Structure formats: structure tokens, C-alpha cells
Structure 1
């Protein structure tokens, strides 16, 4: 998953109004680039193991939950035609305190996202170069991306679009090679199978555990909501774009997982963290492995730069608005005009990757995401009951039943996460509650609003 593009000079003045130039195709491209389609292979082995070889069904279940949530994001984008997020929507719909807690929960995503990206990249490089210790790759990723972000070197939007096209091409080639491998072994009939979706001996709880991991690949479908103020007719374009991004991404993930499972049935790999490397060699030989590895590492590296820059930007905004100590988090490097201390903090947190695996670290990210998704669905339900005319204004289906289904699905995915992730997430949430109590003098005043 790609994070938002690196922030511009954080000390620069903010524009009062943004020019509306983006149509539906542009918003779709941004959303798909943000999701990084190639990530489906980066986490495939972990997902196949957790779901007991029902990865395709796990992606489909996650897609259903995501689509309900995407519909809710669309409703809120129509109600609040400004750059928004789960934090913004919760703050406006409920109250600033609850909004702060949702923002605090998603802060965990920002901290762990660069780490997961570096972990996946290191796992695949270790598979290609087994004599080089994994920790060397992790440290190299952290140092290189930190230096680039501190220097303020940004990736051009044009490069991100080209990178997305390359990713889609590699995914398409991987799918074709898997299909060719299956038909060569079992004939055309081998391409039609229920095995990737259903196995009698696999409990549904295992598939749900896989779906909780699969949701990581979808993160970013909602990122386009931050482009609302730059979008033409956002009240129409944004709801359609958010849902289409989720559906297109879901189709890619389900098809990719389905074909890989057909080509490599079972969830046994030399290393689950780099399983797709093994499958790529099996179906495409050394040439395709080289192409696949180059594309994956390039995508991961670009994502790592953007993700770490996003952490620095968010921490800077919190320091600037005095939610966090301004002397540290509001610091801007006098020469490079970047939040250098925040970028260094993000890099230091990334060193935790030396002690974690992909499965656990993605679960940490999904904890905050599922809480945010649940809050977005509850915001729509609250707006439904607050609206004059209620059912007539929003519709019972879109204003009540769909968001209720989305909230329940998100909670189910949340409780299906690893126990370690639930414990850490709960501890982080309690820490945030204590911090909120301190900065608001025992909840007697509203917390500062973070403008990001």
C-alpha cells in the first residue's frame, strides 16, 4: 500500500482555496496508485497461512466489508465536501474528543506502515540473496529513505502513475503465467475450481483471520477523500470514485490470489514472508522472477518514502497545533525545510521491524484502520438519525442498513486480528485516552484540532 505523497515544505503557508481540476479518471488513478496493486503478492504467503489456503475467499470477505465502508465514506464526502478523513468526520459528527481518539488510533497505522513496507522489501531481497542477513536490508531501507525525506527529495506524481502502470502490468503477467502453468498441468478445466474459496475442513474463523490480514491491501481506498477540495463536482465524483477504487482493487486482489492458489495449492512455503517469490520462479522462471523482484522492490521503496514522509507530516501538524510538544514535533530543519526530527523518529520506530514479522506488523496497522472504518460507518448512522426527514433524506438502505453492516463487519475483522495486535492496540488506545484527559484537563475542554 502506498502512503500519501511526501509533504511539501511544512513551513509553507496553506492555501485558502484549492483549484478544482480533478475528474473521476484522475481520482481513480490516484486511489489505485495509493493502494499499490502489487502488494497483493507481498503479503500472500502470510495470508495463505493464516486463512489455511483460502486466501481468495479472505480477500472477497474483506472486500465486502470495505465496500460497505466505502459507501459510508461516499455519503460523508457528499455531506462534507471538504478534504476529510475518519478523524474529521468523527469530530464533526460526534464530538472533538471522540474525533481525537479515532485520530490517535490511526496514528498507530502511520507509525507501523513504513515498517511493514520495509519488512516486505527486506523479506523478498533476502529470498533473492539468502547470504545477506535480513537486518541489513531493513537498516538500508530505513537509512536511505530517511536521508531522502530529510533532504526533501520528493517523488513526482508522474513517476507514481508510471509506477502504478508497471505494477498493473506485472500483476497481469503474473496472472497469465499462473493460468498458463495450471492449464499446462491440468488443462483448461484446471482454471475453474472452488478450492481457493472453500475447503470443508477449514473453519470460518481461519478465513476471517485471513480477511483481517487481507484488509491491509485495501488500505488507501479512502485516501482520495483528502482530494475533495480539488475535485470537480465532489458531491458526485467522490462517492463514485471511492467505491470504484475499492471494487477495482478488490477484483485485482481476488483474481491474483485465486490464480496463485491454483498454481501453488497449499500454504506451505520456504518462507511465508516471501512466498510470491517462490511461486514466481515456479511459474515464470528466472527471467520473470527478476522482473517481479525489481517491480516489487521499486514499488516498496517508493511506498516507503511516501509513508515515512506522511508520518513526518502528521507529527509536524500535531506539533504545530500543540497537540504534541511543539519544540520537538513542530521543528523544521532550517536548511532543508523538512520535519527532520519527526522523520528520524519514524526511522527509529522502523527498527522495531528487526524483531517482528509481516503478519504481526500488518495486524498492528489494521487495528487502527478497523476502528477508523467502524467510526465512519457510525458517523453515517448518526447523520441518518440527525437528518431532517431521516429515511427520506438519506434512505434506510444507504443511511442505516449498509453502514450498520459495514460497522459490524469491521468490528468482526477487528476481533479476528492477532492477540498481540489487540493487546498493543488496546494499550495504545488507553494511552491516548490518558493523554487526551491530560491536554483537556480531565475532558473539561475540547482538544486542539489538527489541520493536516
Structure 2
């Protein structure tokens, strides 16, 4: 076999990257978790989503800064390695892997559950394998095909969510809500309730950071990726908050027979059983797009760490000469599907949150570290590089503490395993932590930018 290139090829533009970010978050998620958020917030779900949007946006600003300064596909792993040190960068990357390795499995498991509910004669594990194989084939074929398929499915999911919102508006024109302000604040609202619900709602934004893993496959990444990060969080926040507001008008308060199926019950209420089945299709469509996007991001993270020599370079640091995709990394994520065949949704979810919020916190710290390194040689603002990321770090660290004991235990064990692996590859820290194979220098000022090209 011929020697493979070690660089990814830029083929994506702003629209493509934003579509990947939105599919990663799954637009229909607001319909699925609405009942849980409304119950936790005493009937003020849109306020909880607004608060979580603001909180996550603080971290999105940090990701945007880092993506502009370091347009590489390693995301939090690369930022920490360059601005803190290589061992810390390795451990951040190891923690993020808990998110990136298990998130495709979670997407396929969720998809399997939805499809099994629609077609119960086919077991969940069969649906999981079907979806995993399909997304794997598409991602191996190349990022251009992945982009085209993702745009179609993400657009379909968005249209079905907007159709549901339209049915809510039509329903409200005939029933006339008791209060238009109660969904935002009512006599049962408390700050503790809102903050707790906002912490849960923040999980809806997991994946916005994944667009930074596409930096080396994006035209004019220094400009396009930061814009995409902020647009994904902004669009997601407006969509989640707006749809939650309409749903809260249809069903005031936070009392449900079963909060977990509140969205499905509201679909029946506003449009009937047939319409509810169509909105359920939105979850299935969004689930496939999410599986495609998360596998793409996960494989890129594995490739970057393989290219750096953290994992065997001959396997994980290699690209296919024709498709320019990390085939072995994609297949590695496919193997994770087997791990999830016998897991519950709750257990699978516990694997991903620790890595995500750990990475969010570290990226905020990286922005502050950049300020410390460059405050004497390059004017950088205290507000943008210290105060805002400091607030972002506090928020994401708080969310980390709100995870379930199971999630914290899994995350802690995974981190200990990472320390053990780092000890082994450095031979008891007698050797340096593997560094990137590319000649990268810490920039003091971004390079000139040109306009992005959409794929």
C-alpha cells in the first residue's frame, strides 16, 4: 500500500459546518426533553433554555477564539496541548475521547429505540447495526458525501420541528393561552428551579464544539469555524427556546402524566395521532443525521491523536489515498456499536457528559492561558480573554458537578486509566509525551483571512 497523506483536505464551507453542528445537537431534541425541563422548572422551560443558551454561549466564545488562533482539527485536545502542556493536553484528549467514542454509540442506540417503537417486530440491536453500518459507509466514502447526506437529513428534521411549531401556533389561535408570560416566569418559579433545569437543558447543546474537529476540512477555517461555533449555539438556542415557549403555552405548568413522553402527547394534542407519528419521524431523521455527524467528529479526533503518535500512527494516523478519510478511525467507532448492544440509554448517556464538560472547562482555561502568554507582546482584552472565559469555566465546572454519581464514577475511572496509559507510553514519564508530527508553532497573531467557500 502506498504512503498515505497526513493532511485532511478542505472541502467544507460555513453552511456545511453549521449543518453538521446542528445535526450533532439534533433539532428535535427539544420535543423529546421538554417535559423533563418543564417539570424541573415549574412550567418555565423556555426560560431554562434561554439561561442555558447564555451559559453555553460563554464557552462557545472561547471555542471561537481558539479555533481562530489554532485552525487544527484536534479541538480541546490541541488547544490544551499548545497552551497548557503536552501531558495536560493528552489527558484532556483522553477525557474528550470518552465523549467522542461513546457518543456515536449513544446516537445509534437512541435511533434503535425510536425505530423499534415504530417497528417493534425488529429488535433494537438490529436497528443499531443497520444505522451504524450505513453511517460508516457514508463517512468512509468521503466528507463531501457525508456533507450532502447530512444536509438533506438535517433540513428534513428542521422542517418537521418547524411544522410542529406551526401546529402549536394554529392550536393556540383557537384555545387562547391563559398567559403569555407564565411560560417565562410564574408564581411557582424559583431561581434554584431555573438553574437546575438550565443545567439539564445545557445537555441539549452537547456537540456544538464538534465543528472544531472539522477545521482542517473547512475552507478558510480561521474565519469559518468560529462563525460556525457561534451560529450553531445561537440557532440552537433560538430554536430550543422558541419551540419550548410554544409547547409551554399549549401545556401550562410542569405537571405531566409522564414527562418523558410529554412532547409526543403534545403532538397528539395539537395535530392528532397521525401527526404525532410524523413528528416522531423527526426524531428518527434527526437521529440518523446525528449518528452521521458524531461518527465524523469522533473519527477526526482519533485521527488527530493518532497523527500525533498518542495512538499507533500506522493505524490511527493514516488517511485513505482516494477518499482522504481516516478509515481505520471510522471503523474503530463502528466497533463501539457492539459495546452498546446491551446498554440502557441511561447508562450510555453517563459515558459522554464527563468528557464534554471537562473539555468545555479546559477550553475556557486555555483562553485565559493565551492571555497570560501574550499580554505583554499582543494587546488582548481582559474582558474577552479573562472575565468571559472565567465565567464560562465556572458555569461548565458547575455543570460537571451536577452530573450523576454514575457519570462521575465512570469519568474518574476513565481519567485514571488515561494516567496509566500516559505513564506507559512515556515509560514512567522518562520520555516526553508524544508531540504532533506536523511543524506547528504557537501563533501570536492570526494569518490574513479570505472569504469562506461553501461546499
In the superposition, the TM-score normalised over structure 1's length comes to 0.81
Match of 1:7 in 2: none
Measured in 1, the distance between the counterparts of 2:247 and 2:123 equals 26
Match of 1:5 in 2: none
Correspondence 1:65 to 2:52 = no
1:451–1:285 distance in 2 versus 1, CA, 3 Å: farther
1:72–1:343 distance in 2 versus 1, CA, 3 Å: closer
Please state how far the C-alpha of 1:107 moved relative to its aligned partner: 1.1
Match of 1:6 in 2: none
Please state how far the C-alpha of 1:167 moved relative to its aligned partner: 1.8
Moved more, 423-432 or 34-43: 34-43
Q: Is the 1:123–1:274 contact (alpha carbons within 8 Å) kept by the matching residues of 2?
A: no
Question: Which runs of 5 or more structure 2 residues have no equivalent in the other structure?
Answer: 439-455
Match of 2:449 in 1: none
User: Which one of 197, 201, 210 corresponds to residue 214 of structure 1?
Assistant: 201
Q: Is the 1:312–1:346 contact (alpha carbons within 8 Å) kept by the matching residues of 2?
A: no
Aligned residue pairs, count: 429
Correspondence 1:435 to 2:421 = yes
Match of 2:290 in 1: 303
Match of 1:104 in 2: 94
After superposition, the C-alpha distances for 1:143-194 in whole angstroms (9 at most, x for unaligned) are 2134335656655422211222222211211112222223322x2x546123
Match of 2:398 in 1: 412
1:228–1:324 distance in 2 versus 1, CA, 3 Å: closer
After superposition, the C-alpha distances for 1:391-435 in whole angstroms (9 at most, x for unaligned) are x71111101111111111111111122222222222222222222
SS in 1 for 2:208: coil
SS in 1 for 2:379: helix
Measured in 1, the distance between the counterparts of 2:127 and 2:27 equals 21
Match of 1:4 in 2: none
Question: Which runs of 5 or more structure 1 residues have no equivalent in the other structure?
Answer: 1-9
User: Which one of 240, 246, 264 corresponds to residue 251 of structure 2?
Assistant: 264
Q: Is the 1:212–1:414 contact (alpha carbons within 8 Å) kept by the matching residues of 2?
A: no
Measured in 2, the distance between the counterparts of 1:285 and 1:104 equals 47
Q: Is the 2:23–2:289 contact (alpha carbons within 8 Å) kept by the matching residues of 1?
A: no
After superposition, the C-alpha distances for 1:65-105 in whole angstroms (9 at most, x for unaligned) are 21111111121122223334011100000111111111111
In the superposition, the TM-score normalised over structure 2's length comes to 0.81
Match of 1:167 in 2: 157
Correspondence 1:13 to 2:4 = yes
Correspondence 1:387 to 2:374 = yes
Correspondence 1:192 to 2:180 = yes
CA RMSD, aligned part only? 3.6
Please state how far the C-alpha of 1:224 moved relative to its aligned partner: 2.8
